[in-house]
Amino acid sequence: MRTRRFVVLALALLPVPMAFGASACSAESPAGRVQLLELYTSQGCNSCPPAERWFAQIPPGDTLIPLAFHVDYWDKLGWKDLYSDHRNTERQQRYAMHAGDPVIYTPQVFLDGRVLREWQRGVPKSSAGTPALPRLTLSARREGARVEARLETLGKLPADALATFALVEGGLTVDIKAGENKGVTLRHDHVVRAYAEQKAGAMTEATLAVPAGLAPTRSALVAWIQDAGTGAPVQAVRLPLDRCGPG
């Protein structure tokens, strides 16, 4: 009897996976590698709008996913960016350190974790061969003011694999009242509104709080695996949020 009671208790302490019902939706990564294009920007920077207009013309697809991270180091210079997050600044700094150049600035563009200095010329396609990629399946469910997400991976992961989940929104406009862009109405696309990152495994789950005003019809959940040791993204998958009904 004691042994049986111990087994029941041990099972009760095991983590319980999220229950995904009929309201859940899912997407799978393609066979080829998806590149991540990241723009680091700020509403307080008057050289950023041209970069954002260029960035808005890049549609997300099976080969490339654009993500705009708004940094916070411009916030003290007259205008606080409505979408800034200090974690975005820290992410930009990590990329710069991996590249061996600690200088960060806006607008700054990274392709697959490396600086893309001549972004005005377009985005080069991956010149790498076709490595054995992990296959990703991203499932999600909208539950009130949160999104519950699950990322399942099939295949080999980096030794120090990191899984990131991000809520991304487009079609945003903001009237700037102060700072270098005072009096200008800015449009933002592919904006990372919220994200969570943690050590990746065969199945990784996260719950994201939905930012106020986020519109599911112009938003997506993006998840990717990254090698935390080198900073290089390994594979990514995108799921339009309007496919996922409320729970």
pLDDT digits 0-9 by tens, 192-232? 999 999 999 999 999 999 999 999 999 999 999 999 988 89
- pLDDT score, position 132: 72
Using CA atoms, how far residue 173 sits from 60, 63, 133, 170, in Å, is: 19, 27, 37, 9
Of the CA atoms within 13 Å of residue 184, those in its CB half-sphere come to: 16
Residue type, 200: A
SS3 192: strand
Superfamily of 26-116+133-243 according to CATH: Immunoglobulins (2.60.40.10)
CA 162 to chain centre: 12
Contact criterion met (CB below 8 Å) for 92 and 102: no
More confident residue, 16 or 239: 239
More confident residue, 19 or 77: 77
Residue type, 232: A
Average pLDDT of every residue of the chain: 89
Q: pLDDT band at residue 128, thresholds of 50, 70 and 90?
A: low
Domain boundaries, the chain: 26-116+133-243
Query: Is pLDDT at 19 greater than 70 in this prediction?
Result: no
pTM above threshold 0.85: yes
pLDDT digits 0-9 by tens, 105-117? 999 999 999 999 9
17 phi/psi in degrees, rounded to 5? -60, 155
